[in-house]
Amino acid sequence: MIAILNSYLFRLRLPVSRTTRVLVGLTAALLLALGWAATSGALGISPWGALRGQADPLSVQVWWQLRLPRLLLGVAVGAMLAGSGAAMQGLFRNPLADPTLLGLASGAGLFVALWIVLLQGHGAGSLYGQFAAGFLGALCVCLIVFGLAKRQGGSSAAVMTLLLAGLAINTLAGAGGGVLAFIASDEQLRQLSLWGMGTLTNALWRTTALALVLITVALWLLMRSAYELDLLQLGEATAHAAGLDASRLKRRVVVATSLGVGICVALTGVIGFLGLLVPHCLRLWLGPGHRLLLPASMIGGALLLVVADTLARTVAAPAEFPVGLLTSLLGGPYFLYLLIRRNRAC
């Protein structure tokens, strides 16, 4: 995944030195965070000792079967959530667009909950059905929100309409989840509760390998859209005159975002504000150009989630704090700050 992002350097039309500094710096920070995460936790394990055969068999088994797939899943999910946030902000031309705020994560979560409570016990493939449910839920919500944004066009009410639509979808999804929790069995209720708070504990090789393949496809589709997203910022009429097929771009971003976010929610639950926090901060630093912003957001999102998950595993060890709650505690105040700052500027 990091190789895909770094290979994208050759397509950038920004100064190579600045691009190299930004992406190499973020990649180095991500590697340092991965090194810290690999050796931290309730069971302190050295990956180098495991590779050289100097660790006890139990530690080696824990590191290879639990910790390594968890690190890889954290990188993939963080990159997907932050990358989809940056792409949606460019598509809607709205800096507050985010898979969580617009209801994509909640819609995917509702469909996954429907699968867990109503269909999982009927012998269907649990893993693939859960992935498909997450994708369909995110796709339905994305189409609804996209339709509302298209009606508003470029009016000043578009931002408020999107936020209200996301609020309504999140409320309906929460109500639907409450109904499902009411009729669920004790085992299903516990599964829904732990999954709904956002966690990477389901990172086993069987699930992580498939998620890595699907998320990489979604990230590749988003990376292909970077240049077109830059053209779209000039307005649809100007972009069309420059040769942009806006309808094809929108379909690509919608499908890629729905696929990636649906897979992430199906595996990890709702991890909030990652798609808002990372792209918005990097946009202030790097500017609005998506040819640099998209890969930087993906690496930055992976970095933030790996750090947050490591803190969640270590701050209350041997117990584990849900990483989704931790990111919400960080992202909620920042979102309020953005709203206050926006109101002062008006």
At 32 the pLDDT is 93
Q: Can you give the CATH number for the domain in which 91 is found?
A: 1.10.3470.10
Residue 318: partners with Cβ closer than 8 Å, 6 or more residues away: 42
Whether 155 has a pLDDT exceeding 60, the answer reads no
Q: How many domains is the chain built from? A: 1
How do residues 210-235 score in pLDDT, each as one tens digit?
889 999 999 999 999 888 898 888 87
Nearest to 231 by CA among 221, 240, 219, 220: 240
* DSSP conformation letters of 162-211: HHHHHHHHHHHHHHHHHHHHHHS-HHHHHHHHHHHT--STT--HHHHHHH
According to the per-residue pLDDT averaged within each range, which of 32-36, 151-155, 316-320, 330-334 is highest? 32-36
How do residues 46-81 score in pLDDT, each as one tens digit?
666 656 666 667 777 777 888 889 999 999 999 999
Confidence of residue 201 (pLDDT cuts 50, 70, 90): confident
Percent of the chain with pLDDT over 90: 16
Whether 340 has a pLDDT exceeding 90, the answer reads no
Domain housing 69: 2-345
* DSSP conformation letters of 50-95: HHHT-S-HHHHHHIIIIIHHHHHHHHHHHHHHHHHHHHHHHHHT-T
Percent of the chain with pLDDT over 70: 82
* pTM given for the model: 0.83
Residue with tokens 């920042």: 334
d(CA 81, CA 292): 17
Whether 204 has a pLDDT exceeding 70, the answer reads yes
How do residues 283-307 score in pLDDT, each as one tens digit?
888 888 888 899 999 999 999 999 9
